Structure 1
């Protein structure tokens, strides 16, 4: 009987002793590996979603610029600016920046209006610039840069 009582006491002590530092460190290491893997999977999707958002916003601004030219300017060849669109209540003043915090740029060549975002590097004329007429292949290309 005495042997059984000693075993029971040992099990109770083992069960109540808590968690060792090594066990905590192992759990933290496992959690860090999982978080690192999740980040590696999510980050490229975040870049592509920003590019998609920029394309959609540029399309909205392009539509507003076309409407502004037709309504306000009565077919004038003057290219509207973001300030013109805001003053003409075509777009909201809070929606003139791309996902990277840079204002969109409106350019006009003849009757064609193009809306451009400088992209993640915030510099115009670089490969990561985003235009309103991007296709899925262009979005993937810029998102992978």
Structure 2
């Protein structure tokens, strides 16, 4: 017998299962998994569930560079961002790592798209064809 409470719990479990599969795959590939949501304190792939109660079963993956690069980026004068070498390094590292994340996830059969809206810049990952 189906009821909305058990259906919601099942959906939530599907989201958490997908998040764990993605994290395990990325760790198996040798990529670090960020321990916290704060990019100022952790590095590696951050895997998050946006809203387990609505929409398709999906997770978001973001890459966190080393906190020293992140903090430097926050302190650079906006007029100097384009010319700053450490900012350029941060941007290039993120670009390269997003390509690597996408490649690993797609090889494993996940569907990977660019996230939009407030999650723009991250990867939107769904289970892919079954």
Fold equivalence (TM over 0.5): no
What is the TM-score normalised by the length of structure 1?
Answer: 0.26
Please identify the structure whose Cα radius of gyration is greater. 1
